[in-house]
Amino acid sequence: MSKNVLILPGDGIGPEIVEQAKRVLTLVNDQYSLGLEFTEALVGGAAIDADGVPLPEATLEAAKKADAILLGAVGGPKWDTIPDFQIRPEKGLLGIRSSLGLFGNLRPAILYPQLAHASSLKPEIVSGLDILIVRELTGGIYFGQPRGVRVKEGGVREGYNTYVYDENEIRRIGRVAFEAARQRDKKLCSVDKANVLEVTVLWREIMEELAKEYPDVELSHMYVDNAAMQLVRAPKQFDVMVTGNMFGDILSDAAAMLTGSIGMLPSASLDVNGKGMYEPCHGSAPDIAGQGKANPLATILSVAMMLRYSLDEGDTADKIEAAVSQVLDQNLRTVDIMSDGMTAVTTAQMGDAVVAALKG
Ligand code: NAD
């Protein structure tokens, strides 16, 4: 049976980078008879311009029907001044995430040895870095109730939020992480603050319970403050890290920066059945939109993640990742990863090179 991929180019550089990713996806679809069909829809600012809302009903329906979704990026100055926050481009993404229950965020931080100089850390500390951060995306303190700002006795204002996870939420993100570790080096580090926060005492307990189902995966625990330190001290000690929404938000950005090249980093947000939305970690880069300068590799690598995690085509994903490594070996660089002695290429030329590498 054919599988449907929904493509959401979005705003800014979104359409340019998605165009190159689409070429790669179409090529492997034909090359390996994957039986994929493609649908395209509007989201974000492009949807506001066309339909007045960031997530039109037709887009949400298409997202629900699709087996996987590829997103470029949304947002830009054009829509920043819309006074109604419900009509902001980002609401399009949040709407898809919450409507589809995309609770499991996978963010790899991979530093190709060819780009080791791009990191702010010493090459020997980061060269060959390959970490996967699994972040819970729909719960925790960002969503916990009650929340707000209230006035205490004596007229003093007090802000408050609630950090809450039930055991089912912890178990389902734990499973995503253990399964991912199983496909990698079988090492999982669970990050919490169990010395201070009861919710993460429960988190740790559930991770220990799950570990019994995954005897092949080595589980360790680390407090979040130490994890932040270790990420910049010796990041290669990690394989897969799993953590809650807020800690994951911070640690995944820090890990991304270790690589020094935001244009190279893909991400996935998965539901309980493995259906997912795939997108580069970066935004819509309005400063370079329409100039052919954007690096399409994060989006192309998002296609690889999609094939691996939602479409059961891990071998094809490996081939795309190998093709990306090959174009880096050919010294081709978009401006964001440019350095002395390398050959500058445009967005489309980078796409051409990946397509050529895949064709062999
Ligand atoms: P950004 O990631 O868009 O850009 C940060 C810097 O990195 C810019 O200098 C940009 O030119 C550069 N950059 C980003 N991607 C690149 C690529 N593929 N190739 C080369 N250079 C690249 O972040 P920002 O400037 O903070 O945000 C711009 C807009 O994107 C905002 O409207 C923001 O809300 C939105 N945004 C969207 C998403 C998303 O769609 N998931 C995520 C983050 C930000």
pLDDT tens digits for range 254-268: 998 888 788 999 999
- Indicate whether 315 and 196 sit together in one domain: no
Amino acid (one-letter) located at 104: G
Q: Ligand 1: distance of its center to the CA of 357 in Å?
A: 27
Do 291 and 325 sit in the same domain of this protein?
yes
pLDDT value of residue 202: 98
Angstrom distance (rounded) from CA 2 to CA 12? 31
CATH code for the domain in which residue 45 is found:
3.40.718.10
Average of per-residue pLDDT across 304-310: 95
87 domain residue, yes or no: yes
**Is 176 contained in some domain?**
yes
Structural domain boundaries enclosing 162:
130-258
Long-range contacts of 331-338 (CB under 8 A, 24+ apart): 334/263, 334/293, 334/294, 334/295, 334/296, 334/297, 335/288, 335/293, 335/295, 336/261, 336/262, 336/263, 336/293, 336/295, 337/115, 337/118, 337/261, 337/263, 337/264, 337/295
pLDDT of residue 192: 98
Structural domain ending residue among the three candidates 229, 258, 287: 258
Question: What pLDDT is stored for residue 261 in this prediction?
Answer: 80
Instruction: Give me the pLDDT at residue 120, please.
Output: 84
**What average pLDDT does range 115-133 have in this prediction?**
89
Percentage above 70 pLDDT, the chain? 100
Residue 10 lies in a domain: yes
pLDDT for residue 206:
98
- Asked if 249 and 156 sit in the same domain, the reply is yes
Q: Atom 6 of ligand 1 has which residue's CA nearest to it?
A: 285
Model confidence over 17-31: pLDDT tens digits? Answer: 999 999 999 999 999
The CB of 75 under 6 Å from ligand 1? The reply is yes
Q: Report yes or no on 317 lying in a domain.
A: yes
Amino acid letter, 77: P
Q: Please tell me whether residues 221 and 145 are part of one structural domain.
A: yes
* Domain termination site, one of 228, 258, 288: 258
pLDDT surpasses 80 at 1: no
pTM: 0.92
Task: Please give the pLDDT value at position 260.
Answer: 76
Task: Please list the active-site residues.
Answer: 142, 193, 225, 249, 253
Q: Name which residue sits closest to atom 4 of ligand 1, judged by CA.
A: 285
Co-location of 92 and 139 in the same domain = no
Pick from 42, 264, 284 the residue to mutate for probing ligand 1's pocket: most ligand atoms within 8 Å of its CB.
284
pLDDT of residue 117 exceeding 90, the answer is no
Task: Provide the pLDDT for residue 113.
Answer: 87
Residues 277 and 253 reside in one and the same domain:
no
Query: How many domains is the chain built from?
Result: 2
Side by side, the strands of the sheet bearing 240-243 are 36-40, 3-10, 68-73, 276-280, 266-270, 104-110, 130-136, 240-243, 187-192, 218-223
2 pLDDT above the threshold of 80: yes
Whether 279 lines ligand 1, by a CB cut-off of 6 Å, is yes
Per residue, what are the HEC states of 41-95? Answer: CCCCHHHHHHHCCCCCHHHHHHHHHCCEEEEEECCCHHHCCCCCHHHCHHHHHHH
Q: How far is the CA of 292 from the centre of ligand 1 (A)?
A: 15
| Statement to judge: residues 277 and 247 lie in one domain | no
Calpha distance 270→69 (Å, rounded): 10
Q: Are 262 and 336 in contact (CB under 8 A)?
A: yes
The ligand 1 atom nearest the CA atom of 286: 28
Mean pLDDT of 209-214: 98
Give yes or no: residues 246 and 282 share one domain. Answer: no
Q: Is residue 148 part of a domain?
A: yes
User: Which token pair is 288?
Assistant: 């370079």
Q: Which residues touch 182 (CB under 8 Å, ≥6 apart)?
A: 214, 216, 217
Lowest mean pLDDT among 57-66, 82-91, 313-322: 82-91
Inside any domain, residue 195: yes
- Residues 140, 95, single domain; the answer is no
Question: 214 pLDDT exceeds 80?
Answer: yes
Is 161 contained in some domain? yes
| 146-172 pLDDT, tens digit each | 999 999 999 999 999 999 999 999 999
In a domain, 233, yes or no: yes
Whether residue 85 has pLDDT greater than 90: no
Which token pair is 90? 């980002």
Maximum C-alpha span of the chain: 73
Same domain, 237 and 211: yes
Query: Is the CB of 350 inside a 6 Å radius of any atom of ligand 1?
Result: no
In this structure, are residues 133 and 251 in contact, taking their beta carbons and an 8 Å threshold? yes
Closest-CA residue, ligand 1 atom 20, reads: 294
What is the model's pLDDT at position 194?
97
Cβ(294) – ligand 1 distance below 6 Å: yes
Amino acid identity for residue 270 in this structure: L
Encoded amino acid at 301, one letter: L
Q: What is the mean predicted confidence (pLDDT) over 46-68?
A: 97
pLDDT over threshold 80, residue 287:
yes
**Is it the case that residue 325 has pLDDT exceeding 90?**
yes
Same domain, yes or no: 253 and 164: yes
Q: Is the pLDDT of residue 297 over 90?
A: yes
Distance in Å, CA 282 to ligand 1 centroid? 5
User: Does 321 lie in the same domain as 206?
Assistant: no
CA of 186 to the centre of ligand 1 (A): 33
Place of tokens 């081709």: 332
Mean residue pLDDT of the chain comes to 95
Structural domain ending residue among the three candidates 258, 287, 321 = 258
